[in-house]
Chains A and B, each alone.
Chain A
Amino acid sequence: MGGAALEVRDLVVGYGPVRALRAVSLEVPEGSVVTVLGGNGAGKSTLLRAISRALSFHGGAVTGGTVHFGGRPLHSLPPDRVVAAGVSQVPEGRQVFARMTVDDNLRAGALGSRGDRPAKAAALRRVRELFPVLAERSGQRAGLLSGGEQQMLAVGRALMASPRLLLLDEPSLGLAPLMAARIADTIREINSQGTSVLLVEQNAALALRLASYAYVLEVGEITLSGPADELAASDEVRRRYLGVVDEDAAADASQADTTHPVLSRWEG
């Protein structure tokens, strides 16, 4: 049995003449959380779109390489078959259906599921257990939810298809630190229930805490990879993605704190 492992081999993606990914290879073993780090424009979202086959909506195309999930090729399927195969994506920037109610958003998420009625009801129960707020706001328009609630809805909507692999595109984007931490807890919980996660993040500190294995993507190429704790300890990652500065600068910064008025954190 190939299980539910994702294997990406030598993936090449272009937007017209622009190469966005060059021979990217990575693996998500069954039941694991794997993260891909990288700055803006590194090709992180492109990678996820290539896996979920949604590139054509953004004017891109896969020009080489393969994507296999549980031994089955995904790289030649239309997006609905990818969902049916058990791979769901939470798009960047949440993209909830703002004019539809929370419940209708969740129903839309279940449309791609191969499951029967009881399976869908079970998926809905699971989502509401994970995010009780979605049950409370069931009749409300999604556009009226807060940013964090919208992110929960976006994740819940993807879970309605009962995926075996969840692709998450920057779930912490634009969220307050407290809310980002809650989303992180939820990702851990979803993973512990048996769903593999491929997490794309700019917030490297958060991503490295969650993941067991990490890749660093720079201008369309994997430049570093390794177990998450090793990467988190490596100097290069600490300097470039975790914002750790040398100690003199840190001391200067703490002095500056005492001489200037400091705004307290706004906790909304």
Chain B
Amino acid sequence: MTIFIELLLNGISLGSVYALIALGFVVIFRATEVVNFAHASLLLAGGYITAVLSDDIGFWLALLTGIAGAALVGAAIEFLVMRRYRGADHSVLAIVTIGVDIMLVADIGRRLGTDILSVGDPWGDRVLTIGAVSLAQTRVAALLAAGLLITAFLLAFRYTSWGVAMRAAAENAGTAALMGIRLGRVSLGAWAVAGGLAAVAALFLTVFPTPGLEKSTAQVAMKAFPAAILGGLDSTTGALVGGLIVGVTESLATGYQGDLTFLGRGLGELAPYLVMVAILLLRPAGLFGTKELARV
């Protein structure tokens, strides 16, 4: 039972980090209807900036710079690349993001080489013990930080002018433009926010028990992809629920791997994708996604 609770809590914490990534994904999709395959590179950029600077200027300042840097990279991608293709087909834009991703990951990968960078976080490998349940402090911090950021994001989405502009543009871009909403700004903001969220996620994907930032961190980030899709690509609630489902599934599948040896090794890596396929079979638009309706 203790093991189960530990695995569950770990899963929720991991899931909240995936939710941060998935949220950025959904924000870009809603604002621009583009599936952003360059998301992992935003995350890598944020993590890289944090890790490189943390020795010199201290962890917290480095983290802030990392967040700002990733937001800037996101905004730059929008401004320098995506904006040039305005009016192009959305699937073409999605493929453009694959190209951007390959370039960015290649560059950061070249800088990283085979190194594993530590982000220099203050939690280290300390463990929080409550009764029989013990949990890494990093996991607790991840849960708190993600919860706080997600709440702040949802409040802003609901109540600020930025949120209203964002939702209006997502629902009907042409009409939003008639209201004087500047679509370029909305999409720039979406990319920047997605970058910032990804940088925070990068931090929690590279702290204990993970060894640190390395090239393969980008692949870990891609697990947020099934999270966003199974929640429904255009739903912020879906991103949260999807993130939690993926996190908990992965944690449980990894934890009970020993009892499931007949399925072979590495089930934890695979489980999120299996869940995604199963959910999409039942609900093709995802759990909270809007069904595409067309009147003929």
**1/0 contact string of B81-119 vs chain A (CB within 8 Å):** 000000100000000000000000000000000000000
Cβ contact within 8 Å between B174 and A58: yes
- Contact segment of A108-116, A188-196, A260-268: A108-116
- Contact segment of B64-72, B162-170, B195-203, B213-221: B162-170
**1/0 contact string of A50-85 vs chain B (CB within 8 Å):** 001010111000000000000000000011101110
A145 to nearest B CB, angstroms? 15
What's the Cα separation between A98 and B167 when bound, in Å?
11
Cβ contact within 8 Å between B172 and A97: yes
Cβ contact within 8 Å between B164 and A161: no
A91 within 8 A of B: yes
Cβ contact within 8 Å between B180 and A161: yes
**How many contacts A-B (CB < 8 Å)?**
73
A95 within 8 A of B: yes
B176 to nearest A CB, angstroms? 7
Contacts A100-B168, A108-B164, A111-B165 hold; do A79 and B180 have CB atoms under 8 A apart? yes
A238 within 8 A of B: no
A53 to nearest B CB, angstroms? 8
B129 within 8 A of A: no
Cβ contact within 8 Å between B174 and A111: no
B291 within 8 A of A: no
User: Residue on A with the closest CB to B87?
Assistant: A56
Cβ contact within 8 Å between A97 and B175: yes
Cβ contact within 8 Å between A107 and B161: yes
Contacts A97-B172, A100-B168, A107-B161 hold; do A112 and B87 have CB atoms under 8 A apart? no
A86 to nearest B CB, angstroms? 11
What's the Cα separation between A57 and B165 when bound, in Å?
17
A interface size (C-beta, 8 A): 29
B145 to nearest A CB, angstroms? 29
Cβ contact within 8 Å between A111 and B177: no
For B176, the chain A residues whose CB sits under 8 A away are 97, 108
A209 within 8 A of B: no
B126 to nearest A CB, angstroms? 45
For A164, the chain B residues whose CB sits under 8 A away are none
Cβ contact within 8 Å between B180 and A112: yes
Contacts A112-B179, A112-B181 hold; do A97 and B167 have CB atoms under 8 A apart? yes
Cβ contact within 8 Å between A108 and B179: yes
User: Residue on B with the closest CB to A103?
Assistant: B164
A137-176 interface with B by 8 A CB criterion? 157-158, 161
A217 to nearest B CB, angstroms? 21
B55 within 8 A of A: no
B232 to nearest A CB, angstroms? 13
What's the Cα separation between A18 and B178 when bound, in Å?
24
A16-69 interface with B by 8 A CB criterion? 52, 54, 56-58
What's the Cα separation between A108 and B161 when bound, in Å?
8
B240-289 interface with A by 8 A CB criterion? none
A89 within 8 A of B: yes
Closest 7 CB pairs of A and B: A112-B180, A83-B180, A57-B174, A108-B168, A80-B180, A95-B175, A79-B177
Listed A/B pairs (22) with beta-carbon separation below 8 Å: A54-B174, A57-B174, A57-B177, A78-B182, A79-B180, A80-B177, A80-B180, A80-B182, A88-B179, A89-B178, A91-B175, A95-B172, A97-B167, A97-B168, A100-B168, A107-B164, A108-B165, A108-B168, A111-B161, A111-B179, A111-B180, A112-B179
Could you list which residues of chain A lie within 8 angstroms of chain B, going by C-beta atoms? Answer: 52, 54, 56-58, 78-80, 82-84, 88-89, 91, 95, 97-100, 104, 107-109, 111-113, 157-158, 161
Add 5 more A-B contacts to A79-B177, A97-B172, A111-B179 (CB < 8 A).
Answer: A80-B177, A88-B180, A100-B167, A100-B171, A108-B165
